[in-house]
């Protein structure tokens, strides 16, 4: 399947517009798959309350790849990679977390690596 680049215009988290290149794969059924990467820092009561495990379960349900890992400062870092709609839904879910968690903030930024470097599956560390 040959690949080419497609320029798109999208809104960033502040509501401003931007352009970027997305990978387009054309096969037998000619489809477009928009892959994005978001890095999220989740703060609040999110360690020791099964937040990462619940996040991994939700990510797998949505087909999102990446990881969730504890940081020394008490936050959880989440990398979410996948189709735009699924990643957006997963990032919204991060505010919910596990039943024992209490999320105070979710900081979301575009992850700097290209979409071709998507981790296999979703894991916790």
Together in a domain, 40 and 55:
yes
| Mean predicted confidence (pLDDT) in 2-9 | 37
Catalytic-labelled residue, pool 13, 29, 52, 58: 52
What is the tally of structural domains in the chain?
A: 2
Together in a domain, 10 and 27:
yes
DSSP assignment string, 5-30: EEEEEEE-TTS-EEEEEEEEE--TT-
Give the max Cα distance, the chain: 48
Together in a domain, 61 and 29:
no
CA distance 40 to 18: 20
pLDDT band at residue 17 under the 50/70/90 scheme? very low
Q: What mean pLDDT value characterizes the chain?
A: 79
CA distance 24 to 64: 18
First to last CA, the chain: 34
pLDDT band at residue 112 under the 50/70/90 scheme? confident
CA distance 22 to 115: 8
Catalytic-labelled residue, pool 28, 45, 70, 92: 70
* Domain span holding position 84: 34-124
Q: 54: Cβ–Cβ under 8 A, 6 or more apart, which residues? A: 97, 98, 101
CATH number (domain holding residue 60): 3.30.70.100
Q: Is 29 a catalytic residue?
A: no
What would the pLDDT profile of 65-83 be if each residue is shown by its tens digit?
Answer: 999 999 999 999 999 999 9
Higher pLDDT, 121 or 28: 121
Range from 16-25, 94-103, 114-123 that averages highest in pLDDT: 94-103
């Amino acid at each position: 399947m040959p690949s080419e680049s497609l320029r798109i215009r999208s809104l960033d988290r502040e509501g401003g517009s931007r352009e970027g290149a997305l990978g387009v794969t054309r096969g037998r059924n000619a489809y477009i798959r928009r892959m994005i990467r978001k890095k999220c820092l989740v703060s609040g009561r999110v360690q020791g309350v099964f937040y990462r495990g619940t996040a991994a379960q939700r990510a797998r349900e949505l087909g999102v790849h990446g990881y969730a890992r504890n940081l020394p400062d008490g936050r959880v870092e989440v990398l979410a990679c996948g189709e735009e709609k699924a990643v957006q839904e997963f990032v919204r879910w991060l505010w919910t977390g596990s039943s024992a968690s209490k999320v105070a903030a979710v900081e979301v930024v575009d992850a700097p690596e290209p979409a071709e470097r998507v981790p296999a599956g979703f894991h916790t560390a």
